[in-house]
Amino acid sequence: MTETLTDILELLVLEPAGPDVFIGPQPDGRNRRVFGGQVAAQALMAAGRTAPERAPHSLHLYFLRPGDPRAPLRYTVTTLRDGGTFSARAVMVTQGDDRVILEALASFAEPVDVVDYQQPMPDVPAPETLLPMEVQLADYADRHDGFWVQPRPVSMRYVDPPPLMAADMADPPAPVTRLWFRADGDLPSDPLTASALLAYISDWSILDPVLYATRRPPVSHSIASLDHAMWFHRPPDFSDWLLYHQHSPSGVGARGLSTGEIYNRAGQLVCTVVQEGYLGRS
């Protein structure tokens, strides 16, 4: 895992490599493959660099192949449209000899004050009343070299049992997980970087409800992300806690679907996330 928030934000600083082409840095570590949230965040940054006057409003990605963490990531952006309100971009992510690992579509929009409604935030305990995840998982400190109890760049407090605990429960909980999270460190000031950071974080736990439903611990490497979609409703405020409400409406054909809503402390819907995972790996 990337050790600090600064480490994550440094991954979002892309190097120009030609017209609408960018190189994404890789973290120092021994990961077997590139973290999907990293590629999602960098793809959004690359697309946003070509539409600087507009804020992200949606992102749709297909994970095509595992990325090699030892090789640089190349982001090639194609302008599809610049309209009066929306700008659309396609992003192809490659490594090596044009080996495609991800394709994305991103849309950016001008602010339009016409309609404002949302579903209410779930009624959950305040984050101050909950234990940090590393405290909840203290009994698992001897697993994976202490991975589950080490400090994280983003504090996480689960309302429901974390998947590692849920997998050991005699009666599996419903495929719903709710957790608060808050970034610890110097926070991004521009909307594009804040949205990209949210894209990075959104991939950490979105498939938790699928793990619940299938009784799989999160360390089994038996689930792989197929695609990921996000709709950005309001700018995220990382200086306070954000609630991530995740649920799985379906699992069929070795695929598990999970949806998530991210709310701020005031109850405003910040972002909607959808991801499907493939369960055929072992």
Place of tokens 């194609």: 78
Task: Measure the CA–CA gap between 46 and 99, rounded to whole angstroms.
Answer: 18
Task: Measure the CA–CA gap between 114 and 111, rounded to whole angstroms.
Answer: 9
275 as an active site residue: the answer is: yes
Which token pair is 158? Answer: 């689960």
Neighbours of 241 (CB within 10 A): 20
Residue of 95, 195, 203, 208 with catalytic role: 203
For the sheet with 73-82, list strands across it: 15-16, 21-24, 73-82, 86-95, 99-109, 55-63, 224-232, 269-278, 255-264, 242-252, 176-183, 154-158
Asked if residue 42 lies in contact with residue 11, where contact means CB atoms within 8 angstroms, the answer is yes
Give me the half-sphere count of Cα atoms (radius 13 Å) on the Cβ side of residue 159. 17
Neighbours of 14 (CB within 10 A): 19
203 as an active site residue: the answer is: yes
Residue of 42, 87, 107, 275 with catalytic role: 275
Residue of 225, 246, 248, 258 with catalytic role: 225
Q: Which residues are catalytic?
A: 203, 225, 275
